[in-house]
A and B are shown apart, each in its own frame.
Chain A
């Protein structure tokens, strides 16, 4: 190495050292420590006692863990496609050259600026069974259905009925699609107009252009958003935690893996068990991310390649 290069290396390392120190102290060390703690009985206040794989055996037989995992996966499976379709659709609409385009874009983006805590408190009222805005919108439709079909359908008690609580949360999640819409909009504007012109010359319909031009060209952005959504959905914590007042929701229908980890770590002082749960979540996120990346390699179209 030349003296100049050596000096540059030192300088580079010095400038990057805050990040390296941060990574070692706040990422790598906690990860390694939690692997060790997951094999221990550890209450934070006392020394960890080695248990072997007991925490994992307990976890396997813990119905609450499976319930939390099921809720997390179901939420991800429903919320991610729903919010993806919605945000792509909105982005395509907001990309149309119409008057007041900027205003519409701002209107759709604004809700995503609301902090999670405020959002949860707001939705607590929106989803209120007897008085909430959502049910005020739903009731007229139900009344029509009841009048036509002679049925007795009632507006759901979103946050108190185990059958509807998760649905209520998914509805809450759609509030924040504005952020994804902005990213999709940026992606849409990167698509060369010549492709649309060529497709038009070939006599394609608008739907065919969307299917065969827009979607393939947008696929790297879709892939990025979906990957981020998977990670975000699996880490869902703040909104259900506030919606349920720090609890699990009716019949544990709003208990997510992240909440169960938090409860075990900081409420029950079972840090060992919480570490085992956290590692399971970590493995799940890594596995799903890898599957997505593999799938992305085959299906995502990168125009530069």
Chain B
């Protein structure tokens, strides 16, 4: 056998390494399976929610022989999408949350979908207005809704009965909510709380949207945060009333004994909290974890001022987007359009036990849906007073700061006015910085996006 000298073998190893590196860095070619173009689709869902979408993906793959969608469940998808897009290897389709849109759009990480959507025959009129609104930002359409949600008051009927309240009559105003709260709250002999009627931090997922129930918003949609406006002042004052009435540490002590959300120790199921704000998915957890015979009601969350007629709610939605730099936007749109068809969308939303974002809902959907209060949620989503959730370019900073200040107020460690003032100072500065960055790039970006969406 011919021997190879050491320098030559070392050179060969180096050469192979260089080739490997070059191959890894070479432009990505279309991937095909049995002649079908492979589309990468990243989604955030796991468990039964993932399974529901997997069935729709399978239906799409079976419906034609040109495209094959490869469905991948990805945790912390908002961060991974950002890194993949920055690295130039984004998926072809991704499932984000509507609150991600402003930051992704302003950073040029998404493809405007106006033209693609128009060409696929999808119309604004097909959707409930609030969900369509959530997919638009700065006059462009960046996404289409997948599974949406609206929030509503959920109350424990047994606790209402025990407190001498009519279990069929939920509170209609914040004042009424607090009067019910007093009646539902019980204390132990040592003064600690045994149960409470309502506490804003349970579950506290929509703190940023609470000002809507006080008749306002937190942002004017442009350059100004509205934390100085009356609705926000009232919201913070309402928060401040809690430690004064129930004791801040006592509330947190009670909260410390709460079990996991997805467990029989969920405080709503085991009678520790009588009224909560929740979404349409809650029924699924009630079926799985609440005690047998658990009785609950669902209605619009009470507002500061009663508005007879159309109820108020805040809506949010999961969305499907095409990342900037995706290699097959037309095919990606074909898949998204398939998901958006009424039959497929209803299959997805039924599988995830949610409502449909579409205006038209089939009788089968209503019949087959297991939620006893589906009509209440549909009514809320259809309401002209349904408002989109806060979609701020600095959403994460805002939400994080708000959690900190709200907790300080609820603990009774900071006056509401100080918390609101500090929050406004910090967050207006953060928003100004983001807008200043946006203003520098806006003319170029907007003109390019406009060119992209031309017919």
Contact = CB atoms under 8 A, between A and B. Distances in A.
Given A45-B86, A160-B255, A263 B411 contact: no
A129 B256 contact: yes
B257 interface: yes
Interface residues of A, number: 30
Contacts of B413: 162, 251
Contacts of B394: 268
A267 interface: yes
Interface string A27-63: 0000000000000010111100100000000000000
Given A43-B437, A251-B404, A130 B83 contact: no
B418 interface: no
B107 A250 contact: no
A14 B14 contact: yes
Contact of A129 (B253, B403, B426): B253
A209 interface: no
B109 interface: yes
A157 B404 contact: no
Q: Is the interface of B mostly helix, strand, loop or mixed?
A: helix
A143 B415 CA distance: 33
A247 interface: yes
A229 B107 CA distance: 39
A252 interface: yes
A161 interface: yes
Interface in A93-129: 128-129
Contact of B396 (A11, A248, A267): A267
A254 to B, nearest CB: 11
Contacts of A161: 249, 252, 411
Contact of B256 (A14, A43, A157): A157
Contacts of A248: 400, 403-404
B237 interface: no
Nearest to B445: A46
Contacts of B249: 157, 160-161
B408 A130 contact: no
Contact of A44 (B7, B82, B252): B82
Contacts of A160: 249, 252-253, 255-256, 411
A250 B411 CA distance: 9
B168 interface: no
A217 B47 CA distance: 57
A164 to B, nearest CB: 11
Given A43-B107, A268-B396, A269-B82, A49 B440 contact: yes
A131 interface: yes
B85 interface: yes
A41 B413 CA distance: 35
Nearest to B408: A251
Contacts of A268: 394, 396-397, 430
A66 interface: no
Interface string A191-211: 000000000000000000000
Interface in A232-278: 247-248, 250-252, 263, 266-269
Nearest to A131: B257
Interface in B229-252: 249, 252
Contacts of B255: 160
Contacts of A251: 404, 407-408, 411, 413
A124 to B, nearest CB: 10
B404 A44 contact: no
A139 to B, nearest CB: 12
B64 interface: no
Contacts of A131: 256-257
B257 A41 contact: no
Contacts of A64: 426
B10 interface: yes
Interface in B241-280: 249, 252-257
Contacts of B400: 247-248, 263, 267
Interface in B183-202: none
Nearest to A18: B17
B441 interface: yes
A269 B107 contact: yes
A121 B403 CA distance: 21
A252 B406 CA distance: 12
B397 A44 contact: no
Nearest to A267: B396
Contact of B437 (A10, A41, A250): A41
A130 B404 contact: no
B103 interface: yes
Interface in B427-443: 430, 433, 437, 440-441
A1 B441 CA distance: 57
Nearest to A54: B433
Given A43-B437, A131-B257, A269-B103, A252 B252 contact: no
Contacts of B14: 14
A131 B260 CA distance: 14
Contacts of B407: 250-251
B108 interface: yes
A11 B7 CA distance: 9
Counting from the closest, the 3 A-B pairs by CB-CB distance are A129-B256, A45-B107, A160-B252
Interface of A: 7, 10-11, 14, 41, 43-46, 49, 64, 128-131, 157, 159-162, 247-248, 250-252, 263, 266-269
Given A45-B108, A157-B256, 7 more contacts: A46-B108, A129-B252, A129-B257, A131-B256, A250-B408, A266-B82, A269-B82
8 contacts: A14-B10, A41-B437, A45-B107, A128-B257, A263-B396, A263-B400, A267-B397, A268-B396
